[in-house]
Structure 1
Amino acid sequence: MDMTAVGTKGTLHLHDFIIPYEEKEASFYAATESGFDDLVTKWSTQPSKHVIKTDIPQEARMVREFARLVADIKFKNAKPEKKWPAISRKTQLVLDAVKASIERGFEPVQIQE
């Protein structure tokens, strides 16, 4: 499943958004401050490719991270990490926008925080 997000400061393109082609590797392209050349025949700045490699599949990483977070709270009296609610909310906003775009005939959708 491909996904492209276009914003005022750049673009993000994922070729394997939901399930990566490889179990232990995923990649994406990102571009910032991009635009076209003077003749509008090509991009002035090429997107850069980023490859993320893991020792185990992403589903196992999610379970491992969740178990670590719970264990820290339960056994080390740690406070819940503050970043996860924000990351979860932003992920849901993107998924809701994708769904809304599909329902509107693939029209662009603005994401409101």
Structure 2
Amino acid sequence: MLITIKPWLLSTVLSSPTSPWTIPYEENSASFKFNRGARFAELHIGWSRKPEEVEVATELPQEALMIAEFARLVRDMRDYKRPPETKWPEISRKTQVLVDAVKRSIEMNFEPVYL
């Protein structure tokens, strides 16, 4: 059993601490941490290895990259007659359900909301 306050992505090979609300500190890069091959330390008081930090450089701010991706999707549909990507309606709907649940929890004095 793993009890944690911070969300983690866990697999048999890799673990990565995550943040549901990532705020970029710099416009031209983003970073994340991951830990490959780590085990619980002796007495389960930590990890056997420290996480590595990976920085991903970008030429444009995240907002500009989102607009460029949207423009690419529209151009592909218009110029190349490609169908819309089917994953976006599901992703946007799930995101909206999550935001609505957080809002409802706040309105209910931070009580749990079950979906």
Tell me the TM-score range normalised by the shorter chain.
0.5 to 0.7
TM-score (norm 2): 0.62
2:57 alignment partner in structure 1: 53
Tell me whether 1:6 sits opposite 2:34 in the alignment: no
Tell me how far apart the structure 2 counterparts of residues 32 and 86 of structure 1 sit (CA, whole Å): 31
**Identical columns (%):** 39
Gaps of 5+ in 1: none
Of structures 1 and 2, the larger Rg is shown by 2
Gaps of 5+ in 2: 1-5
TM-score (norm 1): 0.62
SS of equivalent to 1:43: coil
Tell me how far apart the structure 2 counterparts of residues 86 and 45 of structure 1 sit (CA, whole Å): 37
RMSD between aligned residues: 3.6
Question: Which deviations, in whole Å up to 9, do the C-alpha atoms of 1:77-112 show, x marking residues without a partner?
Answer: 012224434554565576567x37x747598x99x8
Tell me how far apart the structure 1 counterparts of residues 73 and 81 of structure 2 sit (CA, whole Å): 11
Tell me how far apart the structure 1 counterparts of residues 33 and 93 of structure 2 sit (CA, whole Å): 23
Aligned pair partner of 2:66 in 62, 66, 70: 62
**Structure 1 residue 51 displacement after superposition:** 1.1
